Amino acid sequence: MSTTAVGQTSAGQFRTIRGQAPVPFSRLLQVEIRKQVDTRSGRALLVVIAALTALILIPGVVVGRADDVTFRSLIGLASSPQLMLLPVIGILAATSEWSQRTGLVTFALEPRRHLVILAKLAGALLVGIASFLVAIGFAAVAQVAATIFRDSPGDWAIVWSALGQTFLALVIMIAQGVGFGILLQNSAVAIVTFFVLPTLFSIVTSVVSFLSSTAAWYDLSVATSPLLSGDINGEGWAKLAVASLIWVVAPLGAGLVRVLRREVK
């Protein structure tokens, strides 16, 4: 048994509390990113997302008129599994602290819980953006394949504003996932709610006529659709802001309050 294990320096004096700096945010961020990929389930999810992205690009290259295959259309195709599944990374990043009870350690090592949550949010966004960059890489490979094997025109034009809007949609969806995760604090419940609640909501709003006319203001899937087609306008931004407030900011805020108040056990 080494003496260093019992918390003394070689001089035999304990470190003073004054000598310790608080845990910097950069370390929390590093840890939260690592936690998203250091379990088999976390890695498997990222692999599945990448595999689905690759798969969905195949018909994009093979089916349809060769003239219609452009880098932009392939990026659009590749983004759909990303937008659909990356929020789950955000959900699991949040819920595992309760579902797997790791919060006992996490919140003991960093009692400033709001910083942990912020690191989770930032970490999930960074992992999501990295995954989407990989998807763009896949789209580039598909584009090359299309020009070689199908003699497509090789239109590499990127509409940067449209790409930026897709990234924004991704950020909104992942943040929504984290919000649902910290609010519900249970993996299964949060995932099901994340996928079912907005759909149920859309069904209700489309059936009830006075709701359907204003749905774009509070239905996030309606509000984000102009982002994905890359042609959002002034009113579209306003609708997006309101819908995001309801579906992203509110769960994040309520979830944060719940995390700060709830007993960790």
15 binding other proteins? (CB under 8 A): yes
- Which residue of 39, 199, 206, 214 would you call a contact of other proteins, by CB under 8 A? 39
- Which residue of 10, 11, 65, 108 would you call a contact of other proteins, by CB under 8 A? 108
Place of tokens 């056990």: 265
User: How far is residue 195's CA from residue 174's CA, in Å, rounded to a whole number?
Assistant: 13
x/- string (CB under 8 A) for other proteins, residues 160-179? Answer: --------------------
Of 89 and 175, nearer to other proteins (C-beta) is: 89
Structure tokens that stand for 171 in this block: 């950020």
111 binding other proteins? (CB under 8 A): yes
For the chain, how far is it from start to end, CA to CA, in angstroms? Answer: 31
- Which residue of 36, 70, 82, 96 would you call a contact of other proteins, by CB under 8 A? 96
114 binding other proteins? (CB under 8 A): no
Q: How far is the CB of 32 from other proteins (least distance, A)?
A: 10
Closest CA to 83 of 122, 53, 120, 114: 53
User: How far is residue 180's CA from residue 161's CA, in Å, rounded to a whole number?
Assistant: 28
- Which residue of 47, 101, 114, 241 would you call a contact of other proteins, by CB under 8 A? 101
10 binding other proteins? (CB under 8 A): no
- Please list the alpha-helical segments (H only) found in 101-249: 103-109, 113-149, 160-184, 187-207, 209-212, 215-218, 220-229, 234-244
User: How far is residue 154's CA from residue 85's CA, in Å, rounded to a whole number?
Assistant: 29
User: How far is residue 82's CA from residue 133's CA, in Å, rounded to a whole number?
Assistant: 10
- Which residue of 4, 10, 209, 233 would you call a contact of other proteins, by CB under 8 A? 4
Of 110 and 155, nearer to other proteins (C-beta) is: 110
Interface residue list for other proteins (CB under 8 A): 1-8, 12, 14-15, 17, 20-23, 27-28, 30-31, 34-35, 38-42, 96, 100-105, 107-112, 261, 263-265
